[in-house]
């Protein structure tokens, strides 16, 4: 059975790929490891939790996993700001990646809509 394509799944997957490429650059060129580990964890966790949410057994589990993804996206946004302030990435790199994170933060509206639907059907 073929799964329906989820735009937020695709966006979070592509974002994780971009962050992995950034991490490779930062490790090899800037010799930065601690911040790279942090951003790698949070950025790749976004999509992993979206994927888990897509396999939900209950609306509550779906909301829980999407909420984790949202928090990980917020954390990733923080790490991007820190990398910019430490001059590990350029303003252009930051802005491009931050744009992606902001698009991913649409998770907030998905969560809100799911909660409202859950409340209406309870």
Asked if the model's pLDDT at residue 118 lies above 70, the reply is: no
pLDDT tens readout for residues 19-59: 999 999 999 999 999 999 999 999 999 999 999 998 888 88
Per-residue pLDDT band at 1 (split at 50, 70, 90): very low
d(Cα 56, Cα 73) in Å, to the nearest integer? 20
Q: What angle do CA 108, 68, 49 make, to 5 degrees?
A: 105
Poorest-pLDDT segment among 57-66, 88-97, 106-115: 106-115
DSSP code string of 18-85: HHHHHHHHIIIII---HHHHHHHHHHHHHHHHHHHHHT-SSHHHHHHHHHHHHHHHHHHHHHHHHHHH
All domains in the chain, ordered by first residue: 7-120 (1.20.1440.60)
User: With a threshold of 0.85, does the pTM exceed it?
Assistant: yes
């Amino acid at each position: 059975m073929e799964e329906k394509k989820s735009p937020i799944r695709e966006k979070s997957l592509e974002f994780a790929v971009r962050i992995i490429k950034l991490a490779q650059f930062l490790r090899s060129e800037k010799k930065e490891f601690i911040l790279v580990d942090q951003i790698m964890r949070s950025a790749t966790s976004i999509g992993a939790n979206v994927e888990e949410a897509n396999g939900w057994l209950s609306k509550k589990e779906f909301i829980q996993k999407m909420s984790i993804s949202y928090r990980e996206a917020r954390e990733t946004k923080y790490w991007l700001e820190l990398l910019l302030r430490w001059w590990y990435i350029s303003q252009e790199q930051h802005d491009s990646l931050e744009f992606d994170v902001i698009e991913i933060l649409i998770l907030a509206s998905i969560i809100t809509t799911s909660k409202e639907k859950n409340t209406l059907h309870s």
